[in-house]
Amino acid sequence: MGAVMMVVVRPMAERDLERVVSMEAASQPTPWSEKIFQDELAAPNRAYLVAEGEDIIGFGGVMVVDGDAHVTNLLVASESRRAGTGTSLMVALVEAALEMGAVNITLEVRERNEAARRLYRRFGLAPVGLRKGYYGDDDALIMWAHDIDSEEYRRRLFELAPHHPETHHTS
């Protein structure tokens, strides 16, 4: 496991888009454009967050429709992985989804991305299907967790939340 670093999770802002778009382009075969991120930031029932160390080291987004939260993206810079940043972002995304009335959460993950799949399983997401060729170069595993508004799930979320003093979440 990588070293724990000071990470702040906060809402994504326009000023973050250059770095976010650059990270996205470096890791995705069909990356979102700056315009897509701008549209998402302006859309209702969405939350987009960044994780900062000395610079932006990760970001994620979630949208909620009819009680279902869909994690639209979650990316941590390769040099910052395995240090809890993905967990911090995911906790904050689930909390934002709950604030927007989510009851269930879903996402697609690269079938070959075992590290991400492990992360999502920790959040109670289980595979329910496959989208062939979703990522162009890889299939997507569809994962769901239900009843995320339950007391049991909130306990899980609390247990997953980073409690070390050098990690802070801001809204």
**56-65 sheet: strands from edge to edge:** 126-131, 140-145, 104-110, 68-76, 56-65, 46-52, 7-11, 167-169
Is residue 120 part of the annotated active site? The answer reads yes
Q: Of 14, 108, 152, 153, which one is the catalytic site residue? A: 108
Is residue 153 part of the annotated active site? The answer reads no
Q: Of 99, 120, 151, 159, which one is the catalytic site residue? A: 120
User: DSSP readout, 111-142?
Assistant: TT-HHHHHHHHHTT-EEEEEETTTTSSS-EEE
Q: What distance in Å separates the CA atoms of residue 132 and residue 41, rounded to the nearest whole number? A: 29
Token pair recorded at residue 109:
């993950």
Exposed/middle/buried for 7, CB within 10 Å: 0-12, 13-18, 19+? buried
Q: What distance in Å separates the CA atoms of residue 70 and residue 72, rounded to the nearest whole number? A: 6
C-alpha 13: how far from chain center: 16
The predicted pLDDT at position 84 comes to: 86
Q: What distance in Å separates the CA atoms of residue 69 and residue 169, rounded to the nearest whole number? A: 20
pLDDT in tens, the chain (171 residues): 445 557 899 999 999 999 999 999 998 878 999 999 999 999 999 999 999 988 999 999 999 999 999 999 999 988 888 888 999 999 999 999 999 999 999 999 999 999 999 999 999 999 999 999 888 878 999 999 999 999 999 999 998 887 533 344 444
CATH of domain 7-164: 3.40.630.30
Provide the whole-model pTM: 0.89
